[in-house]
Structures are given as structure tokens and as C-alpha cells.
Structure 1
Amino acid sequence: MKFLVSVLVVAALFGPGHGTAASLPLGPLAAHGVSPERLGRLHRFIQDVIAREQYLGAVTLVARNGTIIDWQAYGHQDAARGQPMQRDSIFRIYSMTKTVTAVAVLTLMEEGKLGLEDPVGKYLPDFAQPKLFAGGSAAAPKLRPAENRLTIRHLLTHTPGFAVYGKDDAPVNVLFARGRLSESADLKEYAARLARLPLAHEPGEQFHYDGVATQLLGRLVEVVAGMPFDQYLKQRIFDPLSMSDTGFSVPSANRHRIAAMTTSGKDGKVAPAAAGVVPAAGERMNPYLSGAGGLYSTAGDYARFAQMLLNGGTLDGASILGRKTVELMMQNHLSHLTPPTGPSAAEGFGLGGSVLLDPARRGRPGSVGQFGWSGAAATYYTIDPRENLVAILMLQHLPLGLPSDPPKLGVPFYNLVYQGLVK
């Protein structure tokens, strides 16, 4: 009788037309130590947020022990609210792209084509002798050679020294803005423009999160692999993992599945994003192939990518990375800093994502060594090796930095996932 109930629960959650052929295996919550009643709190929370018109729609996915135990779609995919959100809806995942780029770099490391301590200038000669801003004005800057080499590890850990922080009117930031990196036609031009700009601090001395370093990693992959960045990702990651809905653009036949981008109106309720805020649905997010934030994906596709990492680099016979490389990726690489933290006082940074160092200091449930990141339009993922857990939240909402912005859902989402664990 218990088996029959479990089968009926799975059928209700993952019935015909609600999954994708390449998704992870599906199974009942209770068999994997998760309380259906407790996880129901997550469902009600997301439903309530959408009912209050703070968000248009969402997809949540929870996997444990390599099995999807909960995969839900809520609300609507389109601003007119005529099309329900689907579990295979496509989202712009922005900075969740960075973890994919890091994996691409590490595949090249495993092939002996590069090393983390290699100077970037070994492969991109324009970066062989970076200059450091040493004073003066934007009109008459004083520059000196950097004492530290700029390495691949610096790019992966957001410690290269690029002027991506501080006051916009600071001379070094003015010089950086004049580089107009976002106008680059491709990654080759992006790298060439970046190489002409001075560093704000010595490589390796400070953590400053930004996309610039990861864009340069995309160009590094192109040069070392000898092929366009998108082609390499498809060949080495997406195709082996059957991530058929992940890429820098979306085929015309699938664009009806893209979730609409929203912002908030002055009344605090969800509103369609203004024209021009993001490119037309399905088109490239940038002229160049942005390894920092350019990918589209689905919850199902990204779950396969995350599960591959949780498995130690393999999934369904596809070997993307070795186990020890994944272990290295998920360790804190900021231990040389004082304090040895990155995004927060409780978190360090690995190769492509944050690493939880102190759950109590962060103030919400989790595990030491938990790894993950988020995207600018409210997409989130976490990988918890201790709990053998993957959790993903997909929304499509760009905050405006105003009091009318809705509350961010990352913290309550993770709280509600973890409170559901009973074994």
C-alpha cells in the first residue's frame, strides 16, 4: 500500500507533459528523507508571493541522492498571464553562467593545456605585463608595472585587480568606463580593450566580484581550445550532459517557452520590463559570447549540470571532470586573504561559485562546503555534498534598486528546502 501511495504521488508531481526526456530520475520525497508536508510550505510560499503579484511565475526543483523529488511550476510565463509557467520554461540565468565557464576552464586544465597558476599572458600576450594605476587623474594617469603576475586562478576567483568597484568618479574607474567593454563585437575585441586598461590593485590582493574576469576566461578558452567559446561549451559540456535547452541563444522553435522578464511598478507589483532592458527573447544577451552572464537554460538542464558536479564530475556515463578537480573547485580559494572570505563574512569563493564556511554566521540552514551562486534576474542554485542535495529556483525578474522592489526569494527558498529534510 505504501508503494502504491508513493507511485501516485510521483504521478501527480511528474505526470505526462510535465518533464523532459533528459531530466534526472524522478522519485518520491519520503524515500529520500524529505517530508512532503514540510516541503508543502515551500509550494505555498511561492504561490502566495505570486498571488500578491510580486513575481509573475517561478520554477523550483529539488533533487536528492541523484533523484528529482520535487519539481514545480507556478504562476505564468508571459506578462499577459495567458500562458502558465511550465517546468521546462527557459530562463536567462545570467551569473549562473559563471560556474559553467569555470568548468570549461577546468576541462582544459585536466587535459594539461593550462594550469591555475599559469600567467594569463602565456595564452593572451596582451596581458603579459599588466599596468597598475598609481595615482594622477583620468586625463594624466600615473601607471607602474604590476608586481604580481595575473594568473588564471585570479580570474576564476575574482581577484585580478580590474577596476570594477569603488566610486564611479575615481580616476581609475573613469578610465575603465572609457574602455566601453560592453560594446565589444566579440571576445577577442573584449580582451583587447581590457588589456589597455590599468589595474586598480595588485592581482590576488582583494576579492571584488564582477563579470569582467569571467568574460576574459571565455576568450582564454577560445584561444587554448582553438574554437569559439559557444562551440566548446556545447561539445564538452552541454551535449554530453544532454542539456539541449542551454545556450547563448534560443532556437526560434523554442522561443515560446522563454519566461518573460519583469520588473516592479511603483505600486510594488510585477510589471513587464521596459523595451530595451534585455534583448529580444531568445537573442544573445551580449554581442560577444558572455561567459559571465549570457546563457539561457532550464531548471531541468541546470539540475543535470549541478548533479554532475555533486557526483564528482560524471553523470549518466558522461565524464566532464575528475573527482579531485571538482573537490578543488568547491574549496575556498581566498584563504590567503584577511579575512579569508568573499561574498560575505560567512562565505569564501571557489572556482566559479561561493563556498559556505560558517552556516551559523550566515544565519540560515546549510552545510559547510555548500557551493552555488545566483543570477541577476533572480535565479539561484546550490549544491550541498553533505546532504547530497541540489536545489534550484528560477524566476525572471530584474530589481530596480527601489523600495518597491519585491523581497528577494533566495533566503526563504533555501530555508524552506532545508526545513523539509527529516533524514
Structure 2
Amino acid sequence: MRGTIYQTIAFISLGSLIACTSKPSKPKTVADTRSCFEKLEPDAKDITKIREKIHADQKAWQLDTVFQKKVKREGFNGNVLVAQKGVVIYRKVFGMASFDRKMKDSLHFDSKFQLASMSKTFTAMAVLKLYEEGKLKLDDSVQKFIPDFPYHGIDVKMLLSHRSGLPYYAYAFDDSVRKVRIPPDNNQILKWFAQSRPKPYNYPNRSFAYNNSNYMVLASIVERVTRLPFDQYLKKNIFDPLGMKNTFLATTSNDSININRTYGYEGHRKVLTDYYDKVVGDKGIYSTVDDLYKWYRALNSDCFLSKKTVKEAWEPRSFERKGIKNYGFGFRMMLKDVDSKKPKYVYHNGWWKGYSTLFWFNPKEDYVVVILGNRKNGTVYRVKSILQIMEEDAEAGMLDDDLTTE
């Protein structure tokens, strides 16, 4: 009996000793289930500090003064968003989605605008995504994907940087397009190229020449590599993953996503459909200012493509005016001076059948300007006063005040 008591006491003492000498267990950590893009958003407690640091309220007031002038004096009609360092500074709607007497409707933040040539930024990134995944190379020839393509010596990077020398399809087939009942799509344009072989504009890689044919061919290459229609590839690999719920391609046959779609106007006259509306890659994407802000955040993170790959898109490759205007892969850019290797500004404009659009950002200062207009108006491209506000100095004076080039 006594032995049993001693054994019990010894066991309790040993257990106490082990408990005292063992390390305390670490508290369990809660897994961070947020997506990569959600992690980019500043915490609520930091937003106030960021707004104070970038003088957000002052900039918002100044920006409103500029845009009210664009509306009242210059006839701007559209939506605007300006953001910096993860904080939206200015976001506003001006005017009408439709000027038709029977269908008059005001714009709102879910209004979808045709991006026109701004769509090229998506086409370029779709190609670079396939490049990053090892599904194509930048020096691959067009014939690797489109065997009967009649122009040789052209590779993917020449298409991306508008250095292919290809003829412009809209001019080459002006007569053909008027004789067909069904508007041509990319495949039909490629067939016409193979059949009639219009004279090229220049030799491959000889010079820069901005040309929608390049991006039509690139979209067709994406389709052949992925075996998906271009609209489905964009939705599956870009729009849906980035949460761009109000963005779609014009060729998408789904009426539900056409809700809140705007129409282009010249004055109060609606611009009718064009022969080439079904040709995509060079144009054709509809989106909103909020979705394009998501696009900006994706481009400036490692969540969509690696920064190394995106950097290739923002490397000057075609000097329109050396040190002033340059073209990379799907983006225009401006350098601070002729010796700079990093762009001060990255941007792309767009114009198509009444739509005037602009997507402009400064990588160093981390701000973006998105302007979407559905009534033809050159004021969309006059950004000098906006940049001076965002940079709080006169450095933006290096710019011309009109960037009407697509």
C-alpha cells in the first residue's frame, strides 16, 4: 500500500518536472486565405495616413476643377477614375450613356465603354502570359501558328512592337468588306491576306508603324495556341481571375454581359456599327473605370505576371520620337530623357467610332488616370494639367498637352 502511494507521488512529481522544463506550445497561426490581389489593398487603418501623405483631398478638389472645365467648356461625356498608392482619389460620372430621345439614360459607374485601341494592352499581356508559361517564344515566326500566312520574316515581338511592316487590313480590304453579307472576323481577314497578298508597308523590323493588323494577328495566335476563342481565353485567364466582372469582348455571344453597355456618339449622333467590329485583338474590349483600376493593380504586382515579364512590355522598342514617344509591347511610354531606360509614363489611348479612351500611369509615383468617353472628344487626351496635379510640380511640363495618337 505504502509502495503504491510512493509510486503515485513519484509519477506526479515527474509529470510536474516535465511540464516545467518543456517549451510552451506556440499559438496556432490563422492561415491568410486572402487572394494575392486582396493582399495588395491597404489596411483600413493605413488609408487615412496614405491620403494625408499624398494630399488626396487637395488633389481631388483640383482634379474636379479640371474635369468640370472639360465637361462645361469642352463637352466631355464619360467616366473618370484617378488613384494613387492603392487609394482612389477621384471617381466621377459625367453625362449620358445614350442620347437617343427614346432611350435617354445617364451614365453610372457600371457603364461599359468600348476601349478601342486600349484593348491592345490586354492582347499584349495575353501573349506575354503564354510566353511566361512557355507556350510560345517571342522570336517564333507567325507561320509556326498560321502556316498559310503569306508574309515571312515576321516574329511575335515584331507584331507586339508594331515593327512587322504588314499592310493595314482596314485599307487593304476596303472593297472586299463592302461585298460580304457577314462582317469579317479575324479568320476571314487572315484568309483574305493569304488569297490576295496585299503589298506590305515595309520590310520586317525596318521601322515602327502603328498598325491594327499586328494585334489582329496576335489575337489569332492566342486562339491557335490555346485552342480557345479569344473572348473565352480573356475571360478565363484575365477577366475572371482579376475580378473584372464588367469587362467583355465585343464578339462574346452572351446578352447578359451587354447590360450597361454604352454606345459611341459624335455629337448627339449615334455611330452605327462598323464593318470591322468583329475583328478583335486591336480593339473590341468593353470595360469600366473600376475594372481598369483592377487591371492597373494587376500589372503593377506579381499576381498576374511576374514583374520581370511586365518590364519587357514597358521597354522602349520603337522610337516614334526618341526620348519622347516610344512603344513597347502593347504600351506606349515616355522617357524622362533620351538616356533613360525606365519610362516615366506608361499609357495607351484609344479611339473607335465615337469612343475616346485613355489609360495612363506613372510607375514611380504609383498613380493611374483612367478616362473613358463615349462621345468623340479630344479633351480626353489632354492630360498635362492632370499630371501636374498628381505630381504636385511642374515636371509634367515636358509633355505636349494633346496626345491624340492611338
TM (normalized to structure 1)? 0.71
- 1:390 alignment partner, one of 341, 359, 368: 368
**1:257 corresponds to:** 260
Tell me whether 1:272 sits opposite 2:269 in the alignment: yes
Give the letter aligned to residue 142 of structure 2.
V
- 2:290 alignment partner, one of 296, 300, 315: 300
**1:410 corresponds to:** 381
**2:94 corresponds to:** 74
Give the letter aligned to residue 294 of structure 2.
R
**2:310 corresponds to:** 326
CA deviations over 1:187-229 (Å, ceiling 9, x no partner): 2222222233332211111111121110011110000111111
CA contact (8 A) 1:356 1:371 kept: yes
Report the Cα offset of residue 285 of structure 1.
7.0
Tell me whether 1:373 sits opposite 2:348 in the alignment: yes
Give the letter aligned to residue 289 of structure 2.
A
Change over 3 Å in CA distance of 1:389–1:213 after alignment to 2? same
**1:48 & 1:174 partners in 2: Cα distance?**
37
Change over 3 Å in CA distance of 1:360–1:260 after alignment to 2? farther
Change over 3 Å in CA distance of 1:83–1:31 after alignment to 2? farther
Change over 3 Å in CA distance of 1:253–1:115 after alignment to 2? closer
CA contact (8 A) 1:347 1:358 kept: no
Tell me whether 1:114 sits opposite 2:144 in the alignment: no
Alignment of 1:207-246 (within 5 A): 207-246=208-247
Change over 3 Å in CA distance of 1:345–1:227 after alignment to 2? same
Structure 1 counterpart SS, 2:106? coil
**1:174 & 1:263 partners in 2: Cα distance?**
22
CA contact (8 A) 1:46 1:74 kept: no
Report the Cα offset of residue 43 of structure 1.
1.4
**2:106 corresponds to:** 84
CA contact (8 A) 2:97 2:374 kept: no
- 2:162 alignment partner, one of 147, 158, 176: 158
- 2:55 alignment partner, one of 34, 44, 55: 34
CA contact (8 A) 1:39 1:420 kept: no
Report the Cα offset of residue 245 of structure 1.
0.9
CA deviations over 1:366-411 (Å, ceiling 9, x no partner): x83421101102110113211111211111123xxxxxxx543322
Q: Identity over aligned residues, as a percent?
A: 25
CA deviations over 1:145-197 (Å, ceiling 9, x no partner): x6xx11111111111112339xxxxxxx9756456499763322222222333
Alignment of 1:100-139 (within 5 A): 100-127=122-149, 130=151
Q: Of Structure 1 and Structure 2, which has the larger fraction of its residues in helix?
A: 2
- 2:277 alignment partner, one of 257, 264, 286: 286
CA contact (8 A) 1:34 1:420 kept: no
Give the letter aligned to residue 163 of structure 1.
P
Change over 3 Å in CA distance of 1:70–1:24 after alignment to 2? farther
Report the Cα offset of residue 100 of structure 1.
0.2
CA deviations over 1:26-76 (Å, ceiling 9, x no partner): 956733513423432321232233234723x22111121233222111233
Please, which runs of 5 or more residues in structure 2 have no aligned partner?
1-37, 394-406
Structure 2 counterpart SS, 1:159? coil
How many matched pairs?
338
State which drifts further: 200-209 or 254-263: 254-263
CA contact (8 A) 1:65 1:388 kept: yes
Report the Cα offset of residue 232 of structure 1.
0.7
CA contact (8 A) 2:320 2:327 kept: yes
- 2:334 alignment partner, one of 334, 344, 356: 356
Name the larger-Rg structure.
2
CA contact (8 A) 2:82 2:89 kept: yes
Report the Cα offset of residue 303 of structure 1.
1.1
**2:294 & 2:111 partners in 1: Cα distance?**
15
Give the letter aligned to residue 216 of structure 1.
V
CA contact (8 A) 1:77 1:260 kept: yes
Structure 2 counterpart SS, 1:97? helix
**1:244 & 1:34 partners in 2: Cα distance?**
31
**2:386 & 2:113 partners in 1: Cα distance?**
22
RMSD after superposition: 3.3
**1:97 & 1:41 partners in 2: Cα distance?**
29
Structure 1 counterpart SS, 2:162? coil
CA contact (8 A) 1:310 1:383 kept: no
Tell me whether 1:46 sits opposite 2:67 in the alignment: yes
TM (normalized to structure 2)? 0.74
